[in-house]
């Protein structure tokens, strides 16, 4: 009897517990919320960086990678980027981005074209200084100047970037503009003095442009400085002539000269803070200023009924300011993350009928 009871107890202890006697199991963990990678800013920067890298835009790719590493340090995309050598490795995030442009034959060709025309002008100005009376001498000096400008540009200057080309050509233009305005301001009517002043101004501008090579300015930065200078001079001249019809040429030239140089200085500083400004954006800014000037002047003619009036000039100045402001606003995202733009193409069937609808959508 004892043996039977002991066996029963052992069998009870050895038998598995019933399901209703087991402790309740822990509830399964809640599923993590799914995040759409398209809405995740970290992944957006990650893909934008490698997209720029595939297009050969290494500087932009590094900037996007730096932004990802700085703003999303704990993001999984950051660890992926920092483990790769495609963007220079982890240490590259702590080094300043080397900006600049590569030398190109196109830059030398543009310089040669402009300096050929500059050589023609130099030959003509030399004739003014030398008081040439023979047409053959004028032609010979102009031809010699053109050949010299082209030869120096193509042979003496090698490994030229677009920014350096812009510095040389822009320096020449602004030197000539300063010399011309100075001649008007000092009321110099002597041809020899005017010719010598132009030669001195162009030479000084050319040397000054060459001295700025060390800044590694890009063509876009030089273009932005040029835009500041030319529009500062144009708007100040229009404003001054709009205030009075009795402004003398001397006072007007002096005002434009001061405003022009001040605009160049301010523009150079602003350009130094905008390393990614493109020449395309500066051209759009100039186009906006031109369109605004024409539209404002046209409205002034409608209002005043006269083409040459203070009202027309005042409206033209206001239109230039508005045009420049609108162009800047419309292009403000051109140097930012490409994911911030909304340019997209679409094609879809029509609601009724046959064919298809296609178009481009974008936001400013």
pLDDT in tens, 76-91: 877 777 766 544 554 4
Q: Tell me what pLDDT residue 3 has.
A: 42
Q: Is the pLDDT of residue 353 over 70?
A: no
81 with 49: CB under 8 angstroms?
A: yes
Mean pLDDT, residues 27-31 taken together: 52
Specify the 3-state DSSP secondary structure of 292.
helix
Average pLDDT, the chain: 79
Cα 290 from Cα 296, distance rounded (Å): 10
Q: pLDDT band at 360, cuts 50/70/90? A: low
Asked if residue 299 has pLDDT above 90, the reply is: yes
Tell the burial category of 215 from Cβ atoms under 10 Å away from its Cβ (0-12, 13-18, 19+): middle
- For the entire predicted model, the pTM comes to 0.66
Q: Where are the alpha helices (DSSP H) in 244-309?
A: 249-272, 279-304
Contact 110, 161 (CB under 8 A): no
169's tokens = 């050509």
Banded model confidence at residue 298, pLDDT cuts 50, 70, 90: very high
Q: Which two tokens stand for residue 178?
A: 């300063």
pLDDT at position 28 is: 54
The reported pLDDT for the residue numbered 334 is 77
Question: Crossing angle, helix 162-185 and helix 105-130, to 10 degrees?
Answer: 20
Query: What confidence score (pLDDT) does residue 326 get?
Result: 94
More confident residue, 34 or 356: 356
pLDDT tens for each residue of 106-126: 888 899 999 999 999 999 899
Element (H, E) at 358: strand 357-361
Q: Residue for token digits 């350096």? A: 164
Overall average pLDDT of the 231-242 stretch: 94
Distance CA 111, CA 149 (A): 9
CA dist., res. 351 & res. 121, Å (int): 64
Q: Are 327 and 289 in contact (CB under 8 A)?
A: yes
What is the pLDDT averaged over residues 317-328? Answer: 94
Mean pLDDT value of segment 316-336: 88
- Give the mean pLDDT of 41-50: 81
Rounded mean pLDDT of 175-199? 89
Residue 225: closest CA among 173, 168, 263:
263
Residue 93 confidence (pLDDT): 43
C-alpha span between 273 and 126 (Å, rounded): 40
Which residue in 263, 240, 262, 264 sits closest to 250, CA to CA? 240
Give the per-residue pLDDT at 245: 79
The per-residue pLDDT for 175 is 94
User: 360 forms bridges with which residues in the sheet?
Assistant: 345
Q: For residue 233, what pLDDT is reported?
A: 95
pLDDT score of 18 more than 50? no
Residue 296 has which token pair? 């404002």
Which residues 6+ apart lie within 8 Å of 163 measured at CB? 100, 101, 216, 217, 218, 219, 221, 222
Mean pLDDT of the region 237-254 = 88
Q: What is the pLDDT of residue 45?
A: 81
- 133 vs 17: which has the higher pLDDT: 133
Give the HSE-up count for residue 334: Cα atoms under 13 Å, Cβ half-sphere: 19
pLDDT interval class at 315 (50, 70, 90):
very high
Is-contact 261 229, C-beta < 8 A?
yes
Q: What is the pLDDT of residue 314?
A: 93
Confidence grade of residue 61 (pLDDT, cut at 50, 70, 90):
confident
Q: Which of 59-63, 221-225, 354-358 has the highest mean pLDDT?
A: 221-225
Q: What is the pLDDT of residue 282?
A: 93
Residue 357: what pLDDT? 62
């Amino acid at each position: 009897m004892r043996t039977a009871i002991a066996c029963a107890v052992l069998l009870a202890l050895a038998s598995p517990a019933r399901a209703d006697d087991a402790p309740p199991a822990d509830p399964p963990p809640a599923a993590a919320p799914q995040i759409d990678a398209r809405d995740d800013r970290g992944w957006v920067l990650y893909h934008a960086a490698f997209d720029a890298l595939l297009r050969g835009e290494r500087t932009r790719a590094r900037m996007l990678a730096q932004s990802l590493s700085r703003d999303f340090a704990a993001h999984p995309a950051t660890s992926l980027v920092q483990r790769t050598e495609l963007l220079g490795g982890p240490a590259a995030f702590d080094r300043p981005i080397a900006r600049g442009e590569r030398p190109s034959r196109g830059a030398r060709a543009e310089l040669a074209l402009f300096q050929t025309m500059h050589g023609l002008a130099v030959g003509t100005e030399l004739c003014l200084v030398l008081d040439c009376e023979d047409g053959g001498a004028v032609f010979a000096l102009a031809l010699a100047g053109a050949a010299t400008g082209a030869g120096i540009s193509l042979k003496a200057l090698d490994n030229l970037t677009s920014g350096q080309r812009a510095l040389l050509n822009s320096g020449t233009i602004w030197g000539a503009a300063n010399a011309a305005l100075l001649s008007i301001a000092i009321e110099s009517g002597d041809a020899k003095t005017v010719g010598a002043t132009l030669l001195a101004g162009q030479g000084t501008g050319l040397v000054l442009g060459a001295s700025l090579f060390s800044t590694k300015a890009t063509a876009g930065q030089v273009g932005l400085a040029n835009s500041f200078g030319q529009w500062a001079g144009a708007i100040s001249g229009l404003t001054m002539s709009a205030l009075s019809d009795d402004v003398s040429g001397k006072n007007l030239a002096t005002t434009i000269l001061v405003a022009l140089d001040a605009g160049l200085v301010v523009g150079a500083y602003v350009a130094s803070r905008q390393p990614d400004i493109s020449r395309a954006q500066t051209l759009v800014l100039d186009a906006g200023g031109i369109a605004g000037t024409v539209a404002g002047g046209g409205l002034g003619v409608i209002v005043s009924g006269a083409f040459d009036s203070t009202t027309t000039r005042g409206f033209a100045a206001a239109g230039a300011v508005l045009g420049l402001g609108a162009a800047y606003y419309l292009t403000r995202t051109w140097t930012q993350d490409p994911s911030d733009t909304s340019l997209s193409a679409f094609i879809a069937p029509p609601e009724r009928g046959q064919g298809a609808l296609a178009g481009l959508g974008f936001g400013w």
